[in-house]
Amino acid sequence: MSDIIHLLPDAVANQIAAGEVIQRPSSVVKELVENAIDAEATLVQIYITEAGRQCIQVTDDGKGMSPTDARLAFERHATSKIRQATDLFALSTMGFRGEALPSIAAVAQVELRTRLRGQEMGTALTIEGGRFKSQQATACPVGANFAVRNLFYNIPARRRFLKSNQTEFANILSEFERIALAHPSVSFRLYNNESLTLDLPAASFRRRIAGIFGKRIESSLIPVSVKTELATITGFVGTPESARRKGAHQYFFVNERFMRHPYFARAISSAFERFIPEGTQPNFFLRIEVAPERIDVNIHPTKTEIKFQDEQVLWPIFQAAVREALGSVNAVPALDFESGVSPDIPAYDPSAQPAAPPRLHLDPTYNPFQQTSGNRTLSPAEREAWQSAYAAAFEGLNNPTQPDEPKLWADDMPDATPATTETPLQLKGNETYLQLAGRYIVTVAEEGLMLIDQHRAHVRILYERYRRQLTSGHGVRQGLLFPQDLQLSPSQTEALRQLLPQLNAVGFDLHPAESGFTLNALPAGTEGLDPLKLIEEVVDEVLADNNPDSQAAERTAHLIARTLARKAAIPIGVELSQEEMAATATQLFSSETPTFTPDGEPVLTILAPGQLERLLS
């Protein structure tokens, strides 16, 4: 039998390895910018064309490379960062594997121009698909200039799996934000299709956060600072009021390297317990300085997963540091045991008479079934039947003959299932509506006793209204007395630019401005809501969505309408009049899907007469 095992050609091996390191255009940006930082650059400029499909160019003013180093840098496992295995536990650089440049060169057409400081001439080098093409002397500035063109040109399947330009550029912005936050002492400029998207001069960590996410976030930042033998933790957490359901800004940086760490994130969230609503997440931007030998960054090629030697010990340190920061600005109530003012506690007086217990006053003549304003008039036979039933019930309460039965709550009702759209629902004529627990509208339908969740019903009504407005482009607007300026993060800004036509169609009046956007009007029905938070939530919903781009337009319209409907709907606990309850029921049953919300939650349920008989038997 002939031998069947053989070595793969270098070009094929490099393409396979590139699948782990270079997953999309944002991976190229990350690797090239981190190399520039390792080269001690003070200014890094990124130029993106067609979301990175056509070209990604990164220039820096770092140390540069000699002609020999420039050629050797594209060989696999060639690196200047480490020399032996023990160096992995004393890393002070972003890169160390020696895989980024050969991986990029294996799946793209790469041109490098670089000049070493102190030399008169630089070198220009060209590689295509992992194959060396040319190298020659050239005049160029000190530093490095990488141009990566036609990414995945030799792997068509990978190129076809790239998302839309909007999605890919949003991923580039996310990577850019992480690197820019991790290195506030470095200046960055980001260009998209020859237009300057973001200009970040060197600044403090706080100013860098404000430069990326807008000046409005700066007022909600609470400083965090703690120094222990294991680690030094500095940075900022957001106030409880700035917590968000989606799109919360949560960043950890270890020795100036971005990382994801769900375990430590839970420690931060636990410090906010009982101070933020359930389901929301706090903002935090925390920098951790720890001895390199106590962490392992060699877990994954992307180097965003880091293993800590002292994970269990660091958890309470994170928690205590955040709680101390919250307490310093009175975000968390605290007891001051050193205060000289003591509470006024009255002394015990044995001769004092205790206060009389509260008395319960009952009106035995009160009859809730008597005619009141807003109710329909009862016929004489109906009034007599109700009065007899009420009198018998009242007599039973005054003269109980058996122990009280346990109450049967709604959760215990058998077979009380949500109505479906398979059977058309009909209300009886001249309905009377009751409101239960500030949440449910109770009325009578042909099928039995109907309970409608007023908030969910209004969400369904508004959702279909906003969908119609998005289709027609004729949303009703409510102008603002004073226009408001809106500043978002780079990724949110880019997403909002794409959403402008749909948002303006539904009733917003948003226009790009020099420093962000200007808001002149809101959709009718959203009065009283924070307009800036409302727009942020819409953008975050769209950014968090992971549906295929082939359904992008329809899915985006759904997300916009759903978010606006949730925010503008009648909240739970609002008391409604008979007219308001009647209007809600009428509009609900005029909608296309009256029985479910856009999220699939049931809007109403019906108790059939047979079910009621079983409950009362």
Whether the pLDDT of residue 475 is over 90: the answer is: no
Confidence tier at 188 by pLDDT (50, 70, 90): very high
* pLDDT per residue as tens digits for the range 370-421: 554 444 555 566 556 555 655 554 454 445 444 443 333 333 333 444 454 4
Whether the pLDDT of residue 534 is over 50: the answer is: yes
Strands 250-254 and 284-290: parallel
Whether the pLDDT of residue 84 is over 60: the answer is: no
Helix then strand then coil, in percent of the chain rounded to 5, is: 35, 20, 40
Enumerate the β-bridge partners of residue 47.
57, 191
Higher pLDDT, 267 or 4: 267
d(CA 304, CA 302): 6
d(CA 250, CA 248): 6
Q: Residue 396: its pLDDT value, please?
A: 47
Higher pLDDT, 66 or 487: 66
d(CA 548, CA 164): 9
Confidence tier at 340 by pLDDT (50, 70, 90): very low
Q: Residue 409: its pLDDT value, please?
A: 31
Q: Residue 412: its pLDDT value, please?
A: 36
Residue 103 exposed, middle or buried by CB count within 10 Å (0-12, 13-18, 19+): buried
pTM across the whole model: 0.69
Enumerate the β-bridge partners of residue 45.
59, 189
Enumerate the β-bridge partners of residue 254.
257, 288
**Cα dihedral across residues 416, 417, 423, 426: positive or negative:** positive
Q: Residue 410: its pLDDT value, please?
A: 34
Residue (of 23, 97, 96, 38) closest to 256 by Cα position = 38
Instruction: Name, in order, each residue with C-beta under 8 angstroms of 349's C-beta and a sequence gap of 6 or more.
Output: none
**Cα dihedral across residues 294, 298, 304, 306: positive or negative:** negative
Residue 573 has which token pair? 């606990």
Query: Per-residue pLDDT averaged across 493-521, rounded?
Result: 86
Any alpha helices (H) in 241-299, and if so which ranges?
262-271
Q: Residue 85: its pLDDT value, please?
A: 55
What three-state secondary structure class fits 258? strand
How large a percentage of the chain has pLDDT more than 70? 75
Is residue 562 within 8 A of residue 464, CB to CB? The reply is no
Query: Per-residue pLDDT averaged across 222-250, rounded?
Result: 91
Q: Residue 250: its pLDDT value, please?
A: 93
Residue 246 has which token pair? 């989606």
User: Whole-number mean pLDDT of the chain?
Assistant: 80
Could you count the other beta carbons within 10 Å of the beta carbon of residue 392? 9
Strands (E), 76-130: 109-115, 122-128
d(CA 284, CA 322): 10
Is residue 453 within 8 A of residue 543, CB to CB? The reply is no
Rg (CA), the chain: 33
Query: Per-residue pLDDT averaged across 315-321, rounded?
Result: 92
